[in-house]
Each structure stands twice: as structure tokens, then as C-alpha cells.
Amino acid sequence: MNTETKGPPLPTRKLENSIVKVWRMSAAIEEGIGLLLLAVLLYLDYYFAWPAWIGWILIVFLLLTFVYSVWSVIIRPYYLHKNWRYDLNEAFLQLKSGAILEQHQLIPMAKIQAVSTKQGPLLRKYGLFSIEIMTMGTSHTIPGIPEKTAIEVRNQIAIFAKVKEAEE
């Protein structure tokens, strides 16, 4: 993957390291619920002696969920964090995420209509915030920024976004 040098310029700011833990935890909870559900179904299958093919399908699902949770709990959060970048100046907000599907976004400050900070229980545990940016028709989220930076970034965007272009 040497295309990074040829593609759009990379923003410089990175997310806080602890977001990896948050992502791991939330993925673990999700997969845990999934596994639990499958386990209950398997027990019911055993208890009520459902047709054999249902058991096989459940086992296949169980294996898939297991493999997927290895990916979503252990591998994905690390690479997601490694590839997430953002940056802002008085003219643009720039976002970059993903490695398998690399995504770049360039949003003029003048087109941003609202910006807010959000915090769920997992983010609160690590003192992190996510910033949500709304434009006329799209919304973007920067996950995992420490409280001080988050408020700073939010206020900065609010100030830069105040600029109005002529001919609105």
C-alpha cells in the first residue's frame, strides 16, 4: 500500500489511544450478546430436539460469530485508530479513515451548520468525547477525543463556521 503518497494529503491529528479500548469493549459487549443468544438457541435446540439442520446452522453461525469477534474485538480497533486522522484550519475540516476502504472528506468551514460533542458511558469511562459535525445534508463524526481537545475543537469549528459565504 504505497498509494498513500499519491493520494490526497493526509491530515495530521490522531485520535486518543484509549479509543482502542473503548472500541474493543463495545465490540466485546456486542459479540458477547450475540454469542449468548446463540448459546441459548443451541440449548433450546438440544432441549426440544429440533430438526438436525437447525443445529448445524446454529453451529455454523456460532463459528462465524467467533471468527468475526476476533476481528472486531482484537484486530479492527487497532487499525481503525491507526488510520483515523483529522485536521482543521480556518477554511476546511479534513477527515480520513479506514484502510481497507480508505475515505477522505473535505468540508469547507462555511458549510458546517452545527457541531456538537457527545459522550456515552464507555467514552465517559476514559474521559473521551465524540464530535458530531452536521452540514446541509451530511453528518460526520470524529470519535474519541479527550475532553479538553474536544471542547477546543468544537469551539474552533463554531468560530470558523460562523463565516458566511456571499450568495447564500
Partner 1 sequence: MKELNRYHPLTIVFDMWKTAKNSFFAIFYLYILNFSSDSTFIYYARIVFWIFIGITFITIFIKWYTNKYTVNETSFNLFHGIFKKTKQTIPFSKIQNVNRHTSLFHRLFNVTSIHFETGTAEDSSVKFSVIKRTAADQLEEYIAEKGEGTGSTISFEELDSNGRSDLDSRKTVHFQPVRKDIVKASFTSLSFLVLIPILGSIYSKINQVLDLEKRAEGYLSYLLDAWWMIVVLVLVFGCLSLLIGMAWTFLKYGKYEISSDGERIYIKKGVMETTEFSILKSRVQAVEVTQSFMKRLLGLAEVKLTSSGSFSGGEELEVNTLYPFLPLNRAYDLITELLPTYEVASHLYSLPKKSLGIRLLKPSWFWVMATGALFYFHPVFFQMEMTWLILSILLLTLIVFGRILDYYHTGYLVKGRFIQFRKGGFTTTTFLSRRDKIIEVGVSSNLIQQFLGLATVTTVNRAKPVYHNTLTDVPVNFSTLFYSWYMEREKEVEHE
Footprint on this chain of partner 1 (rule: CB under 8 A): 1, 3, 6-9, 91-92, 98, 100-108, 110-111, 135-138, 163-168
The CB density around residue 47, as the number of other CB atoms within 10 Å, is 8
Q: Which is nearer to partner 1, 112 or 123 (CB)?
A: 112
Compare residues 49 and 168 and give the one whose CB is closer to partner 1: 168
Pairing of strands 92-97, 112-118: unpaired
Report the nearest approach of partner 1 to the CB of residue 134 (Å): 12
Q: Using alpha carbons only, how large is the chain's radius of gyration in Å?
A: 21
β-partners of residue 116 are: 132
Paired with 141 in beta bridges are 132
Pick between residue 49 and residue 136 the one whose CB is nearest to partner 1: 136
**Strand ranges of the sheet holding 13-14, from the earlier edge strand across to the other edge:** 13-14, 85-88, 92-97
Q: Which of residues 17 and 138 has its CB atom nearest to partner 1 in the complex? A: 138
Minimum CB–partner distance for residue 97 and partner 1 (Å): 10
Shortest distance in whole angstroms from residue 14 CB to partner 1: 20
